[in-house]
Amino acid sequence: MKNTKESSIPWNEIASTYPVNKSYIWLNNAGSVPPGQHIINRMNDFINVYAHQSIMAPEFQFARLHGKVKDVLAGVAGCSSDDVALIHNTAEGINFISHGLRLEPGDEVLLLDREYPSNVYPWEHLQKKGIVLSFIPEALTVDGFLGNFKKSITSRTKVAALSAVHWLTGMPLPIKEISTLCRKRHIEVVLDISQGAGHVPLHLDEWGISFCAGSAWKWLQGPVGLGILIIKKEKINTLTYIFKGTSSVVSHHTYLPYKDTLIQTVDRYVYSTPSLIDWVYFDASLSFLSNLGFDAIRSRIFSLSGYLVDHLVALGFSVLNRRFEPCESGIVVAEHGGINSDEIVKKLKAFNIICAQREGRVRFSVHICNTFDQIDTLISVLKEII
């Protein structure tokens, strides 16, 4: 149902500042979120200032932007800003971790069944070293998944590589409970936060999770091609470092003589010149979101998704979200016995309503660029389709 509680945040006005709404009803925010006007304005400012001042522009210094972005991300993830670095994507981050962990032949890595490839492919190289990759059977309830996870652990399990939220079902996984279990068994949790950061609460330090990677362009509304890597400082030297670059070493702005001493934080993985324009984009996004407040944003997202779930159920859809209540998610996955999901997605696109097809189901994902009126329009169109 709609959240009728009065809010001081003008959500409809905020949604109107996303130009995509002039062309589409964008319900694929778990894929990527088109930029709002605040980002467009910031990027225009950057290009104009950079054209005149280049790297001398004080508001666009690498160090200043990096510090601002890391501080916000640390708050979102529940960790220290010293443990956060900006890389390119999730797969890169998971590769850094998987190649760095010192595993032995016979050790086991647990992965999610039907996981997104970014948290599967980077582990496959370990099989050549005699390390076993096993998959945790999928479940459509939180308790069911936790039970499957417990059954999957063996005496050989050394790593559990999981996602905070499953990309196919939208179900938030019980990471707190899993991390508690893993700490008792000395199993490292490697967490993919692509679908989690900015979407569901994360408390990495509290949960004892030392290794994370994720993408910037989903719930954090950052640029496509920018990623997040989180490695606890006390764990940094437990990883074999395999990719040394200009910025990996101490005093890296002094190029000669060459240096052997690596930076003693995760920033060693920002191994060479990053994309300044991506950092400006991400800073604009995170500043906007943090000013609104991530708790308020989550409340808005879950209000929209709950409203959508109720109306889909009323139309005769089977909605996965009902199975993992009371957990809330901005990803709504549904199917209708009367019509193929591919056809639903195609017909919605003809009405300029954008969603995704995932494994025979329709995946909708809402964010603050959406409104209740848009969901009402979606439901009206679905009535015609079915």
Res. 22: pLDDT tops 80: yes
Residue 185 is predicted with a pLDDT of 97
Q: What is the pLDDT of residue 4?
A: 42
The pLDDT value given to residue 57: 86
CATH architecture type of domain 48-290: 3-Layer(aba) Sandwich (3.40)
Element (H, E) at 332: strand 331-335
Per-residue pLDDT, 6: 41
Distance CA 117, CA 241 (A): 23
Predicted confidence (pLDDT) per residue in 312-364, tens digit: 999 999 999 999 989 999 999 999 998 999 999 999 999 999 999 999 999 99
Q: Which of 312, 285, 279 is nearest to 367 (CA)?
A: 285
Judge whether residue 302 has pLDDT over 80.
yes
Q: Residues 11-35+294-385: name the CATH superfamily.
A: Aspartate Aminotransferase, domain 1 (3.90.1150.10)
What whole-number percentage of the chain has pLDDT above 90?
92
Residue 1 has pLDDT above 50, yes or no: no
pTM, whole model, 2 decimals?
Answer: 0.95
CB 333 within 8 A of CB 365: no
21, two tokens: 């709404």
The angle subtended at Cα 134 by Cα 131 and Cα 138, nearest 5°, is: 160
**Gyration radius of the chain's alpha carbons:** 22
Q: Write the pLDDT tens digit of every residue in 156-206.
A: 999 999 999 999 999 999 999 999 999 999 999 999 999 999 999 999 999
Q: How much is the pLDDT for 334? A: 97
| pLDDT digit string, tens, across residues 115-139 | 999 999 999 999 999 999 999 999 9
Q: What is the pLDDT of residues 137-161, one digit of tens each?
A: 999 999 999 999 999 999 999 999 9
pLDDT digits (tens, 9 = 90+) for 82-110: 999 999 999 999 999 999 999 999 999 99
Rounded alpha-carbon distances, angstroms, from residue 35 to 5, 26, 367? 28, 12, 12
pLDDT higher than 50, residue 5: no
- The rounded Cα 76 to chain-centroid distance in angstroms is 11
Domain ranges of the chain: 11-35+294-385, 48-290
Asked whether the domain spanning 48-290 has the same topology as the one spanning 11-35+294-385, the reply is no
Torsions phi, psi of 161, nearest 5?
-100, 110
pLDDT at 33 over 60: yes
**Residue-wise pLDDT tens digits, 47-79:** 999 999 988 888 888 888 889 999 999 999 999
What is the per-residue DSSP string for 1-22?
Answer: ----S--SS-HHHHHTT-GGGG
